[in-house]
Structure 1
Amino acid sequence: MRWRALGTVGLILDFTICGFARLVTVPTIPFADNNGTYELSQLTKIVVDARHASTVDTQGQTLIPPTLKEFGATFQEDLRSSLGIDLPLVTSSTSSDHAIFLTLSNDTDFRDVAGRFTAEAYALLIDNHGITISGASPLGAAVVSKHNLPQGSAIDAPGWGTRGVMLDAGRHYYPPDFLIEMCSYLSFFKQNVFHLHLSDNLYNNVDLYSTQESLDLYAAFRPWSDDPTLSGLNKRANESYTRSQFDHIQRQCARRGVTIIPEIEAPGHALAIVQWRPELGLTDLSMLNISHPDTIPTMKTIWKIFLPWFHSKIVHLGADEYSSSYVSDYTDFVNDMHTYIAEQSDKNSRIWGTFTPSQGANVSKAVTIQHWEFYEDNPYFDYIKNNYSVLNSDDAFYIVGKWSGSYPQYLNKTRVFHGDPANNGPYAPNIFSTTNATNNPPRDNPYVLGHIAALWNDYGPNATTYLKAYYSWRDVLPTLADKQWGGDILEDEYDDVFDTLHPVIPGQSLDRHVPSKTDLILHYNFANTTGTTVPDLSGNNYHATLNHTCPINTSNSTIRFTGTCTLTTPIQSKGRDYTLSFSVYPSTSHPSPLFSGRDSTLLNCNGSISNITLVSGGNPYTLNYSLPVGKWSDVSLIGKGNKTFLSVDGGKKMEFLARLGVNGEYSVWAPIAIEAPVQRIAEGFVGMMGEVKLWGSAK
């Protein structure tokens, strides 16, 4: 059972009640106003209903649902961290005055758009005694403001059961912490699914590449198993997920009501498997030869090993963009794998819309279809009218990291608010076509499962950083989440509330925001160093620590680093925008980090070359410039929007760029946004440094 009332935590600083009475939250909440207010300062505790404290949601998409009490603990933690409201969590069969009471209910109004009971619905009551949240199950959207709440009541339910995003982690690795933080972001806006595409490859240009070039092309299979049966399948141990890591990701997401849906792509986009077992490939080595006697047994072996890892009721087979010459083989593959997975794990299967019944694809109707493009299928006429359940991932909201010749890099806000071709009204999960209303089923059609917005990394790992994926979604995804839920927020309302909501989203720091009293975040000049402590002169008390004493010249406020001395700050990373300025005197051209942090490293030299280099996500971005050895330079690393620059001695800004190979045919240079590395200074560096300053703006 899920409590959407707790997952969103509803940390809303200002409420607006409009029209027929609704709360302008994201998503919006229908609300019957009683014309009073309740001051949050009166709250004394959070009470979990003892009768349901151990209850879990058995109807959702996860196999590891937290209990009501566990959700209550997450709710308590989020109130404290985001709003500074520190309330004890207690268990009792009854509420008390001035408490937030968390309980369960079987209200008959807990229905989705198709009229089906939904475990994500909840009832909200705010009166002069406190707040009661009665969920259909343990997770929902508690609505809390910093000062006071309107008194009244609400019954809120999602229109569709699957709401969220898909991330291509096959062609770009994303660390576990990032995925967990993204789950917090999704949960806050009542999204409940994070679809992870775990295997893929760059486009295999068969008209250009030799067999060996195809076998050398970037391809990745992210789950890492020590089972000798799969030895050699995953060749990227440092860009993979072990079972314990993937388990941690799933559990941390589940505690906020978000289910990880894993995808292992085959028989197309399967170059990682063919590079491991070349005999299984077609002429286009990115496709498995299904008729080969070892292909399906090999895929069953892979799934048998990884199925116990996955805590979702549904898994994704991929099955996208396969050769149309083998529709019958494709159908056999999907049905065979679906049956096998159901027998092994009692899980259901999902595939991308590829071949339709009219093309001869007699895929089991127990397999759900994820539509993404009309040149592959017409989801309403090809699938829904043939009694298939369909998840909407139409390319209306398909985005590609960094660059694409055909797709955008950010979600389309105008399309969210005007994506219904019938009336130029707001988008909704039943709208497969934003240009032709006849291709869209009615809003209450029970075969529409929901909506997932996909982000693909078509041009590989160096095209973008992992935080860029967040920025592709950041500003528009919440209002898309409103439409996925069935909300009705207007564009001007959304613009008014987003900047208020965003800073209080709990469980994440995706903006890499650093609190500061002024624009100057930290300032070290080394003259006031005492022992191993370097005081911060900005007034923010971000004092740094040396791992041992280093020679300091107090007359000119410089410090000499000998290669063993490192300065550590309390700040891991600074996101957009920033200026990191420092004076530096390299004594050698030996490669070493000048600054390093959670998300990036600034190198003085990179390997055998002396060029200044920024590294993010294991990928180097190098300038055609080297710091002079044996000479002082005043350097500024500048992050401005989606670009990153270096300036030396007040000279012209030099831009760090990503070089993208496009299908082996040509290259594109594109801007790259890299966070400021400020956690460790001069780790291994030999030379001197002067003043170090970090600003919260691009100068």
Structure 2
Amino acid sequence: MRVYALISTCLTAAIAKGAVVQHPFSPGKADLEIITVPTIDFQSSGTRLSLDNIHEVHVNARYSDTVDSHGETLIPPTLYDFAETFKTDIKQVLGRSWRVDEAAHPSLSTVFLTIDEDKTRYLDAAGRWTSEGYSVSITETGVIIAGASPLGVWWGTRTLLQLAVLHPDGIPTGHAVDSPGWGIRGVMLDVGRKFYPTSFLGELCSYLSYFKQNTFHLHLSDNVGVVNPDDKDFVNSLYSGFRLRTEDSRVAGLASPANESYSREEFDSLQRQCAARGVTIIPEIEAPGHALPILKWKPQLALIDDYTMLNISHPETLPALKTIWSVFLPWMHSKTVHIGADEYSADFVKDYNDCVNVLNAHIYEVSGKRTRIWGTFPPKDAYSNNIATNISLQHWAFFEDDPLHDYVEKGYSVLNSDVAHYIIPGYSPYFPPELNKTRIFHGSPDGSGYIPTTFDMSNSSNNPERWHPLVNGQIAATWNDLGPNGSVVSDAYYAWRNHLPALADKQWGGSITELQYDSVFDRLHESIPAQNLDMTILSKSRTIFHYDYAGGVSDGSGNGYDATNHGCKLDHRQVHFDGRCYLSTPMRRKGRDYTLTFSVKPLAYGGALFQHEELALLADSKLTFQADGQYFPINYTLPLDDWTKVSIIAEGRKTIAVINDDERIEFQTLLGLSGTGLRWNPMAFPAPLNIIGKGFQGKMRSVRLEEGAQWKD
């Protein structure tokens, strides 16, 4: 009991003191030596906790089965669930094996997880209680994390994990009380115009969670842009996607092909994987604009002068939309769903408002869920059917709406997705391929950091007060306006990689400076658990693997990445591929910045030189990368029955083939700019490594993968 009294006294003192310190949505007072992302107002005691003194995670037995009922997810983990996930992170990141158990009170050498029921302690920017708040108290003998809910506790474990990474010689002792300023923090990804596998999306949730972002908005249906929308045949030839796939006869024919859509089981698994880390998937099905996927299913519903838009006045349109939502609402484990409603014809505003209001009422009646739309037609006195005020608006551009004056001042809640952080991976004449760091740190009109209430970066009169309760938060959107061949899957991650944690700090209400951020980013980035989005391969040296085939298919790099031979003949340091045999390796892919070198002697064209699932380097009549169902050839043909040395060099956003240490040819994609022209653009392909030579006929020797772009002078 003496131990409990000691730690409880520390916790009580921490909470009492935390009740009067500034919350992170105010200008912070964080110790410059104690930085996390987002920042916390950490009051240091001046000593250190060695993790050698911690052996277990204890969950307060009274709250073990408690869940957060106030957040967006309908599948919230229990406090004990979060503890188990925390345990796996500790093992992966710190290499420590901690046991999880229940306990009634804190004890020595433990991390104690509990719930703080004080409704006055954890407040957001508007002064409202938030279930995401937490306090952390660290002594030389243990840690207590008390959350307003299990989700708050989870965010507290992110703080503790970051502190452990940044202070490997001992975690600073002290305490902090922390709450997010805004309730919605995260990103949006356009999966309608480019398909992304659930494995990739799940890893992105791990990335978001580490920096306390709680929302992943998935734009599940769309089509590429068009400048001749009244040309029916042309429009129907355009790429479009509807990503939810079901056997339900009511929507037969609506979904994209099976390799570019998600079954209910896959979508459910993704949502649960993300919820386990505090991230809620917000699904969006776009209509009545951007509706080509629906119109390929029911072409009779199109506007006569725009075959990407639904004719809302057609008697079958609203029933069709109701049917779609009735089928898929049971799949969706969020309290809010997004119906799109972006960029519709201004000639039919009344019909548009009717459509939005009808779907809003239908969704609530069927599922009890709330509705969100993109800001498109602001309410006006001239309309007798303005959209209902219980619909939340997602602002993205001032040419569509003025979020403060059109919505906030009229009682609508608004989510900020302004074009300040609009990204298009690959190329766009208007938007960057990655987040703008300067805008994050200096994007407010006064030059301070961007925050969710920053709708206008230059004119503060267009921005509500920081504390305004109708601003829900901020979402950074990544769009695939130019379709599936404009980028590869991993480009979406690289669009966010370097600067999203900084934006997460601002979304939370943190106060990290650019200098502080740069000082900790690399170490924190290397420690993000449950993901390998960089597609890193561990190596003892610059050479990751080397197969010289002198004594079989062993790896000569010292890393032990030996291959397995599936029926191929080896002699004279060569592998003979007959179109049926192949080699397999323990590696899958290598992300950006690598050099893959090999010598090859094809006897016929066809087959994969290197492959992992749908990513491949093909020995076709033109040397070709295949990625995400698209083909990217270069103007080079490997000579038959002759040896050629090839180096595939990936550097940043470019991939280049170097032939015989001489000729350099870049892999590029030809982009159609929404009917206004064409443009060649670089492509950043990962190196496919899992399978070597499948379907290929010829010989190969000396295969080597090196870290970084190794250019020959």
TM-score by length of 1: 0.94
1:360-382: CA deviations, max 9, x gaps? 36111110000000011110111
> Could you say what secondary structure the match of 2:484 adopts?
coil
- State the match for 1:447 in structure 2: 470
Residue equivalent to 2:214: 192
Are residue 634 (structure 1) and residue 645 (structure 2) matched?
yes
State how far apart, in whole Å, the 2-side matches of 1:459 and 1:433 are.
26
1:20/1:322 Cα in 2 relative to 1: closer, same or farther (>3 Å)?
closer
Q: Which residue of 2 aligns with 1:559?
A: 575
**Distance (Å, rounded) in 1 between the aligned partners of 2:664 and 2:84:** 49
CA contact (8 A) 1:612 1:627 kept: yes
Question: In structure 2, how many angstroms separate the alpha carbons of the residues matched to 1:77 and 1:481?
Answer: 23
Which of 265, 274, 294 is residue 286 of structure 2 equivalent to? Answer: 265
Query: Which residue pairs with 1:403 in the alignment?
Result: 427
Alignment of 1:371-382 (within 5 A): 371-382=395-406
Shift of 1:525: 1.0
Q: Could you say which residue in structure 1 is the equivalent of 2:14?
A: none
Aligned equivalents of 1:190, 1:694: Cα separation in 2:
36
Q: Distance in 2 between matches of 1:311 and 1:495?
A: 36
Q: Aligned match of 1:542 in 553, 561, 571?
A: 561
2:401 is matched by which residue type in structure 1? D
1:39 match: 50
Alpha carbon RMSD of aligned pairs, Å? 1.2
Deviating beyond 6 angstroms after TM superposition, the runs of 4 or more aligned structure 1 residues are none
* Aligned counterparts, 1:222-233, within 5 A: 222-233=243-254
Residue of structure 2 equivalent to 1:690: 701
Equivalent residue in structure 1 for 2:63, among 42, 49, 52: 52
CA contact (8 A) 1:167 1:196 kept: yes
Q: Can you give the 5+ residue segments of structure 2 that lack an aligned partner in the other structure? A: 1-27
Equivalent residues in 2 for 1:279-298 (5 A)?
A: 279-282=300-303, 283-298=305-320
Q: Is the CA contact (8 Å cut-off) linking 1:594 and 1:683 kept in structure 2?
A: yes
CA–CA distance in structure 2, aligned partners of residues 395 and 665 of structure 1: 22
Amino acid at match of 2:138: I
Alpha-carbon distance between aligned partners in 1 of 2:601 and 2:624, rounded to the nearest angstrom: 17
CA distance in 1, matches of 2:369, 2:30: 43
Residue 393 (structure 1) aligns with: 417
Superposition pairs of residues 53-132 of structure 1, within 5 angstroms: 53-107=64-118, 108-132=120-144
**Could you give the per-residue CA deviations for residues 385-404 of structure 1, whole angstroms, max 9, x where no partner exists?**
00100000011111112111
Question: Equivalent residue for 1:467?
Answer: 490
Q: 2:156 aligns with which of 141, 155, 174?
A: 141
Tell me which moved more, 138-147 or 367-376.
Answer: 138-147
Aligned ranges 1:190-589 → 2 under 5 Å: 190-206=212-228, 210-282=231-303, 283-358=305-380, 360=383, 362-421=386-445, 423-529=446-552, 534-548=553-567, 550-553=568-571, 556-589=572-605
State which of 664, 670, 677 in structure 2 corresponds to 1:659. Answer: 670
- Structure 1 residue 598: deviation in Å? 5.1
The CA deviation string for residues 126-179 of structure 1, in whole angstroms up to 9 with x for no partner, is 012211100111121321313311110110000000000000111000000010
- Offset of residue 581 of structure 1: 0.7
Give the distance between the partners of 1:631 and 1:43, measured in 2 at CA: 62
User: Retained in 2: the 8 A contact 1:401–1:458?
Assistant: no
SS at match of 1:111: coil
Query: Aligned partners of 1:87 and 1:526: how far apart in 2?
Result: 43
Which position in structure 1 is the counterpart of 2:8? none
Contact 1:584 / 1:687 at 8 angstroms: preserved in 2? yes
Cα distance in 2 for residues equivalent to 1:64 and 1:661: 41
* CA contact 1:599–1:675 (8 Å) conserved in 2: no
Name the amino acid aligned to 1:541.
G
> Is 1:165 aligned to 2:181, yes or no?
no
Q: Does 1:26 align with 2:50?
A: no
Q: Distance in 1 between matches of 2:414 and 2:147?
A: 27
Q: Contact 2:30/2:40 (CA < 8 Å) preserved in 1?
A: no
Distance 1:225 1:659 in 2: 33
Displacement of 1:20 after TM fit?
5.3
Q: Does the Cα contact within 8 Å between 1:41 and 1:147 map onto a contact in 2? A: no
User: Which letter does structure 2 place at the counterpart of 1:159?
Assistant: G
CA distance in 2, matches of 1:566, 1:118: 56
Instruction: Give the superposition deviation at 1:308.
Output: 0.3
Query: CA offset at residue 464 of structure 1?
Result: 0.3
Contact 2:46 2:173 in 1 (8 A): yes
Distance 2:673 2:451 in 1: 34
Aligned with residue 609 of structure 2, among 572, 590, 594:
594
Aligned to 2:617, the other structure's residue is in SS state: strand
Counterpart Cα distance in 2 of 1:611 and 1:470: 29
Give the whole-Å Cα distance in 2 for the aligned partners of 1:370 and 1:37: 45
Aligned-pair identity in percent equals: 48
Q: Which residue of 2 aligns with 1:9?
A: none
Q: Distance in 2 between matches of 1:599 and 1:134?
A: 45
Q: What CA distance in whole angstroms lies between the structure 2 residues aligned with 1:55 and 1:565?
A: 54
Q: Deviations over 1:264-287 (max 9, x none)?
A: 000111011112111111120111
Please give the secondary structure, in 2, of the residue aligned with 1:496. helix
Query: Aligned partners of 1:450, 1:383: CA distance in 2, in Å?
Result: 15
Distance in 1 separating the partners of 2:660 and 2:196: 36
Three-state SS of the structure 1 residue aligned to 2:486 is coil
Q: Kindly state the Cα deviation for residue 633 of structure 1 after the two structures are TM-superposed.
A: 1.1
Q: Give the drift of 1:408.
A: 1.3
How far did 1:218 drift? 1.1
TM-superposed deviation, 1:19: 5.3
State how far apart, in whole Å, the 1-side matches of 2:334 and 2:30 are: 39
Cα separation, 2, equivalents of 1:653 and 1:443:
53
Specify the SS of the correspondent of 2:663.
coil
Q: Residue 62 of structure 2: SS of its match in structure 1? A: coil
Tell me, in whole angstroms, the C-alpha distance in 2 between the residues paired with 1:406 and 1:694: 36
Q: Tell me, yes or no, if structure 1 residue 619 matches structure 2 residue 630.
A: yes
Aligned length: 668
Deviates more, 1:625-634 or 1:301-310: 625-634
Alignment partners' CA distance in 2, 1:577 and 1:120:
38
Give TM-score scaled by structure 2 length: 0.92
CA distance in 1, matches of 2:511, 2:104: 36
Q: Secondary structure at the match of 1:141?
A: helix
For residue 21 of structure 2, what is the aligned residue in structure 1? none
Gaps spanning 5+ residues in structure 1: where? 1-17
* Counterpart contact for 1:111–1:157, Cα < 8 Å: yes
Deviations, residues 555-598 of structure 1 (Å, cap 9, x unaligned)? x3112112221111111011111011111111112x10000025
| Deviation for aligned residue 1:21 | 3.2
Change (3 A) 1:565 1:528: same
Aligned residue for 2:173, secondary structure, equals strand
